[in-house]
Amino acid sequence: MAKRGTLLIVDDNRNILSAVKLLADGYFAKVMTLSSPTTLLSTISSEQPNVLLLDMNFNAGINTGNEGIFWLKEVNAKFPQVKVVLFTAYADVDLAVKAMKHGAFDFVVKPWNNDKLVETLMNALESTKEKGKKGATVPQRSEIPMFWGTSAEMEHIRAVVERVAVTDANILITGENGTGKELLAREIHRMSARCGKPMVSLDMGAIPESLFESELFGHKKGAFTDAYADREGKMVAANGSTLFMDEIGNLPLHLQAKMLVALQSRMVVPLGGNAAKPIDIRLVAATNRNLFSMVESGEFRQDLLFRINTIHINLPPLRKRAVDIVPLAGIFLTHYCEKYKKEPLSISQAAASRLTSHTFEGNIRELQNIMEKAVIMCDGGEILPEHLQLYVPQSQSRGTASTLEEMERTAIAEAIESCGGNLSMVAQRLGITRQTLYNKIKRYGL
């Protein structure tokens, strides 16, 4: 019998990987193995396997199968053409039914029967060919996926997200700029019952303060100068879905009251209007500011904070999860090799060491930018330290800020600290508008 198709096996037991690979090599043209699901999505993206044999438990002492279900959902969402067979040592009928409901092709129990395992895998391979004959198209490759990593903090956050994403509880995500707050919001939306509709996003740091009310609640024709037609606000646009409000700490006090009423009554009155529109939204808000301190200083309503803060998730800075830096860099590397149509690249040991020791004041956003530049600059098959072009603040390398940009960054950082995070006071002290301040904060990763 001619060998055909590609099989990817993911199991944390290397003995099982060896045994199954030895068996499957007689039937599949190519068999690959992974001892951890950390690089599962990037491997599928680059290798395009037909069948995935996926273990359901990767942490010692945990046999709930939740990890297998999670990765099953990830693969089905991003690579629906891949047939997934789940592999577990725990014969649980309820878990098998749950897995099938989430799109698993089949379910194999350890210890396995060789003939049964081969039959299941080959049936999965045949089903991909039948689907292809019907004219199924290979989906577009997805954007960069959510990467949880292996740090203790992120594992805890992932457990919380898995528990609360399926509910309609409002969620507040805090953390420094560039830590992935919007990406986490999208992951929460994807895992929720509202995922059938697109998430609606509103960045309060990117719009003029004069347009906050119109953007959030909408307006009627003639409500203000240049209001030539009725306009639907983001809260109405997100009806039946998730509204992601980034930089919610920038919302002025008078609009905080109106927003609180809207969330409590689930009704929105547009600017210049009288009739209320019903809304059904799930709010996910994010900020890099300390809303609790803002409550104490009278800048943020305590009752609104209670309303949006049903679940609070604080994303750690990248420097506190150094174990995840190189794997995350690998995901960006795969993404940008595909984007710029380059052959797959690897990260040299020297470059990996440089990345791990870097402070990453701009967090994940900075790492992503670094890897994009590295892919563009690399002509060989390996990313070297010189391709990274790591930015080291002049104040760190020479003890002083010797460039205009670094002087500006230092001045803004010191002003933010001395003003206790009050951005209105910071803008006034520096003699710039709040919008200009927001743009510079994002630019410098403050």
* pLDDT tens digits, 101-136: 778 888 787 788 888 899 989 989 988 765 544 433
According to the model, what pLDDT value does residue 137 have?
35
Helix 152-164, helix 181-190: angle, nearest 10:
40
According to the model, what pLDDT value does residue 384 have?
93
CATH for 152-314 is 3.40.50.300
CA of 428: how far to CAs of 157, 285, 300, 422, 437, in Å?
A: 37, 26, 19, 10, 10
CATH for 395-444 is 1.10.10.60
Name the segment(s) of the chain with CATH classification 3.40.50.2300: 6-133
- Over 70: is that where the pLDDT of 258 sits? yes
Give Rg (Cα) of the chain.
Answer: 25
Q: How many CB atoms lie within 10 A of CB 179?
A: 25
Contact 107, 84 (CB under 8 A): no
CA 82, CA 75: separation in Å to the nearest integer?
8
- Over 50: is that where the pLDDT of 272 sits? yes
| Interior/surface letters 366-392, b for 16+ CB within 10 angstroms, e for the rest | bbbebbbebbeebeeeebeeebbebbe
Q: What percent of the chain has pLDDT over 70?
A: 87
Cβ-Cβ contacts under 8 Å for 167 (sequence gap 6 or more): 192
According to the model, what pLDDT value does residue 263 have?
94
According to the model, what pLDDT value does residue 213 have?
87
- Over 90: is that where the pLDDT of 444 sits? no
Q: What is the mean pLDDT of residues 413-428?
A: 75
- Over 70: is that where the pLDDT of 396 sits? no
pTM reported for the whole predicted model: 0.58
Name the segment(s) of the chain with CATH classification 1.10.8.60: 318-389
Q: What is the pLDDT of residues 320-355, one digit of tens each?
A: 998 999 999 999 998 889 888 888 899 999 999 899
CA 319, CA 360: separation in Å to the nearest integer?
6
Residue keyed to tokens 């053409």? 81
Residue keyed to tokens 């090599």? 25
Residue keyed to tokens 């990890």? 67
Q: What is the mean pLDDT of residues 200-229?
A: 84
Query: Is 121 in a helix, a strand, or coil?
Result: helix
Q: Which residues pair with 86 in a beta bridge?
A: 54, 107
Contact 169, 213 (CB under 8 A): no
The CA-based angle 396-399-401, given to 5 degrees, is 85
- Over 90: is that where the pLDDT of 397 sits? no
Query: When comparing pLDDT for 20 and 416, which is higher?
Result: 20
Side-chain-facing half-sphere of 156: CA atoms under 13 Å: 9
Contact 279, 233 (CB under 8 A): no
pLDDT band for position 423 (cuts 50, 70, 90): confident
CATH fold label, 318-389: Helicase, Ruva Protein; domain 3 (1.10.8)
CA 21, CA 16: separation in Å to the nearest integer?
8
- Over 80: is that where the pLDDT of 391 sits? no
Q: What is the mean pLDDT of residues 392-398?
A: 50
Cβ-Cβ contacts under 8 Å for 306 (sequence gap 6 or more): none
Name the segment(s) of the chain with CATH classification 1.10.10.60: 395-444
- Over 60: is that where the pLDDT of 63 sits? no
According to the model, what pLDDT value does residue 403 have?
59
CA-wise closest residue to 56 among 48, 46, 66, 41: 66
Give the architecture-level CATH label for domain 6-133: 3-Layer(aba) Sandwich (3.40)
According to the model, what pLDDT value does residue 94 have?
57
CA 38, CA 95: separation in Å to the nearest integer?
23
- Over 50: is that where the pLDDT of 399 sits? no
- Give me the chain's average pLDDT, please: 84
CA 228, CA 113: separation in Å to the nearest integer?
71
Structure token digits, residue 400: 């002083």
